[in-house]
């Protein structure tokens, strides 16, 4: 499971990140919440207003601080969703396609449905 709390270092974004970390702990999950602060990366996710929350590539919220309870609901709703983005920076692809070869930093999925040139899987 991939959970991303989006936003820079403003109080609202920090609160959203902290609420996400608390939600994960309360659910007893062994998941690291990624705090995404790079605005280019946030915009590449399709989010134009922070704070935001993305779970397995699904934008759950943008432009508002979520409560711990709201984040827990989103986690439970999307925990089994297949990640929709390829994380090719580390040489691995999260698109779930075993024919995907990301060793060169780009996702080379053999499936026509996967358009990973932009860093996002076209599922």
The predicted pLDDT at position 100 comes to 53
Tell me the pairing of strands 33-36 and 3-6: parallel
The percent of residues in the chain predicted with pLDDT above 90, rounded, is 56
Residue with the two structure tokens 């998941």 = 31
C-alpha neighbours within 13 Å on the C-beta side of residue 35: 14
The pLDDT assigned to 92 comes to: 47
Measured distance CA(95)–CA(102) in Å, rounded? 11
pLDDT-derived band at 37 (thresholds 50, 70, 90) equals: very high
pLDDT at 9: 78
Burial group, residue 122, by CB count within 10 angstroms (0-12, 13-18, 19+): middle
State the architecture of 3-78 in CATH terms. 3-Layer(aba) Sandwich (3.40)
61-107 pLDDT per residue, tens: 999 999 999 999 999 998 776 654 455 544 445 555 444 555 444 55
What is the structure's pLDDT at 8?
A: 84
For the chain, the structural domain boundaries read 3-78, 82-123
């Amino acid at each position: 499971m991939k959970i991303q709390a989006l936003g820079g270092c403003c109080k609202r974004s920090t609160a959203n990140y902290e609420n996400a970390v608390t939600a994960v702990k309360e659910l007893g999950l062994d998941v690291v919440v990624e705090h995404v602060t790079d605005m280019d990366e946030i915009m590449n996710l399709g989010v134009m207003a922070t704070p935001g929350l993305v779970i397995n590539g699904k934008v759950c919220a943008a432009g508002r601080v979520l409560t711990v309870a709201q984040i827990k609901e989103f986690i439970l709703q999307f925990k089994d969703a297949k990640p929709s983005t390829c994380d090719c920076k580390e040489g691995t692809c999260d698109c779930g396609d075993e024919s995907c070869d990301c060793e060169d930093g780009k996702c080379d999925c053999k499936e026509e449905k996967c358009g990973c040139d932009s860093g996002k899987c076209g599922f």
